[in-house]
Amino acid sequence: CSSYNMVIREDNNTNRLRESLDLFESIWNNRWLRTISIILFLNKQDMLAEKVLAGKSKIEDYFPEYANYTVPEDATPDAGEDPKVTRAKFFIRDLFLRISTATGDGKHYCYPHFTCAVD
C-alpha cells in the first residue's frame, strides 16, 4: 500500500501500485482462476500512515481520482486512526475492489485485509 509514490526497479518509470493493480487484474481475470476467491493483504499500513501524515508525497499526485474520493460509510477506521490515513487506505483498497467487482459474475470474491507485517 505504501508504494503509491514509488516506481518499479525494472524500468524506473512504472508506478509500483499501478503495477500491483495490473497484476491483480490479470490474476483476477485469468480464465483458470475465475471461480477462485482471493484474500488480498494490503501490507505496510504503518509506512502508508507515515507517508500520508508527513504530507510530502500526496496520493493525488499519482492517482488524480483520489482528490474526489470519499470514504465509504461502512468503512471502520482503527481506533485513534487519523482520518487522512483512513481515507488513504480505503482508497487503495477500493482500487483493488473495483477490479474484483467489475465483472459482477459472483463466482469469486476478494477479501481485503489491512496488515502490517514486520520481522
Name residue, grid cell 487522512. Answer: 84
Annotated binding residues for GTP, written as ranges, equal 43-46, 117
Q: Which three cell numbers stand for residue 21?
A: 493493480
Annotated binding residues, written as ranges, equal 43-46, 117
Q: How far is CA 41 from CA 37, 51, 56, 92, 96, in A?
A: 13, 19, 25, 12, 11
Q: Which three cell numbers stand for residue 102?
A: 467489475
